[in-house]
Amino acid sequence: MTVTPAEIDISAVANDSRRVLLANRQHGVSEWDGRRYDFVCPSPQTYPFQWLWDSAFHAIALLCVDPELAKQELRCLLQGAQPDGFIPHMLLWEKAFHTAALNEYSIVLANPYYTATVQPPVLARAVWRVYQATKDRDFLLEVLPAVMRFFRWLKAYRDPDDDQLIAIIQPDESGLDASPKYDVLMQLGELPSERVLPQLVVSMKRLFSAYEAHREDPARLLALDVFNWEDVMFNTIYADGLRLIGGLCREAGYPATEAAEFERRARHVLSALEEKCWDERTGVFWDLYGYEEQRAHTLTFTSLFPLVLDSLDRHMVWRLVEEHLLNEREFWLPYPVPSVAATEPSFDPEHKTAVTWRGSSWVNSNYYLYWGLRAHGYRDVASELAKRTVQMVGIGGVREFFNPYTGAGQGAVDFGWTALVLDLIHAEGWGCGCAREEKSAHLEPFSR
């Protein structure tokens, strides 16, 4: 059964999303070696730079505007790719905004124009999606090597215990800056709302000073064990990307052994998630932290995230969906999926703490979960999630995140990746109004 959200003005949501993508375009010539940039920033007022996972989401959404802009977004991003494979989490193209950024954000730069950290590797999915929609083989051959190098960099530098799971060195490397699951190491637990942000800044400074003496040797940072975190969402995105790269290697005509390398690694990451992070008692996945790999028992949407992987164990899929995602006390709120379960003491649906990922619903996580639900045959649940996501953006506007009870918009205005709602509208056949509307827009992923 397909649910048509008759009561929502879908074309208004689609038009507003397209407006934001076009209005957020930043272009010019940077003082960084005179390089040209042309990309969509997350929000001109709040986030004027190019972020790694934002840009990958923007590229996917841009397919509903102009596929050439989607390619341009990724080409611009890949100008930041370093010879060893590293791709930074932020590219600070516009020098005029640097001072404000350094005052406002808790970041460490590797170079005046880019940060020393990463973000989830959504890039592989974005390249796969752009290729799937355009079949532009030249584009694939141009960008795929840098994507592969990045995934090999993650393996080389971020899996020192060789358990197949990538570790992050600070919370915002997952993109989930202030998620309460990190409170145990960031010392944010049980603080009054107004104390959370100042304490987060203090804790970030503490991490940066611990790392300072070792920045030249990034492989050593995890060994310090100050923030050694194997994040379920990051690793799910990594496993998804590895598998898609395998298929893309075949499309590109690369050696079969190279495709096999990525696909084998994808299977190993999935097995590690199932063996080390799955909790049969509660029926969810938990992140692992510290050298001793303790489980972080805070129930957030990331505990459900392996749903995105289409070869996840069927029993686990069933428990995640039936016991948790569709549980109205935890995640199935009027405008799902909240970033933190409503049963958690840290759940902050009204954004009182003024920091991110502590209860509001976001469109990028809904996008991933939507496709995961479809891959596992939950077509109706996926449609319902898409419907409520469109509704939420209709109520709240193209904002950064949303109150999961009312749909009210929160955070930055005119926020780029919220335009991923275009992908959901398109996939549901509700008419996103783009020129393509091609029937094959969402073929199933390449076979494994």
Q: Is 42 in the site for ligand GLC (CB under 6 A)?
A: yes
Among 330, 268, 276, smallest CA distance to 298 is for 330
Distant-in-sequence, close-in-space partners of 9: CB < 8 Å, separation ≥ 6: 394
CB of 177 to ligand GLC, least distance (A): 4
Site for ligand GLC in 341-400 (CB under 6 A): 356
CB of 210 to ligand GLC, least distance (A): 21
Q: Is 73 in the site for ligand GLC (CB under 6 A)?
A: no
For ligand GLC, give the closer residue by CB, 54 or 330: 54
Distant-in-sequence, close-in-space partners of 367: CB < 8 Å, separation ≥ 6: 57, 60, 420, 423, 424
Which of 48-56, 191-199, 221-229, 430-438 is the region at the interface with ligand GLC (rule: CB under 6 A)?
A: 48-56
State how far the Cα of 339 lies from the Cα of 297, in Å rounded to an integer.
14
Which of 31-39, 47-55, 223-231, 277-285 is the region at the interface with ligand GLC (rule: CB under 6 A)?
A: 47-55
For ligand GLC, give the closer residue by CB, 317 or 419: 419
CB of 362 to ligand GLC, least distance (A): 9
Q: How far apart are the first and last CA of the chain?
A: 29
Tokens matching residue 406: 């009312």
For residue 225, count other CB atoms closer than 10 A to its CB.
Answer: 12
For ligand GLC, give the closer residue by CB, 41 or 317: 41
CB of 21 to ligand GLC, least distance (A): 14
Q: Is 177 in the site for ligand GLC (CB under 6 A)?
A: yes
For ligand GLC, give the closer residue by CB, 78 or 107: 107
Q: Is 173 in the site for ligand GLC (CB under 6 A)?
A: no
For ligand GLC, give the closer residue by CB, 144 or 337: 337
For residue 29, count other CB atoms closer than 10 A to its CB.
Answer: 11
Tokens matching residue 216: 């030249």
Tell me which H or E stretch contains 13.
helix 10-23
CB of 35 to ligand GLC, least distance (A): 21
Q: Is omega for the bond preceding 201 within 30 degrees of 0, making it cis?
A: no
CB of 31 to ligand GLC, least distance (A): 22
State how far the Cα of 348 lies from the Cα of 362, in Å rounded to an integer.
14
With beta carbons less than 8 A apart as the criterion, state whether 26 and 48 touch.
Answer: yes
Q: Is 54 in the site for ligand GLC (CB under 6 A)?
A: yes
* Residues within the interface to ligand GLC (CB under 6 A): 42, 47, 51, 53-54, 175, 177, 356
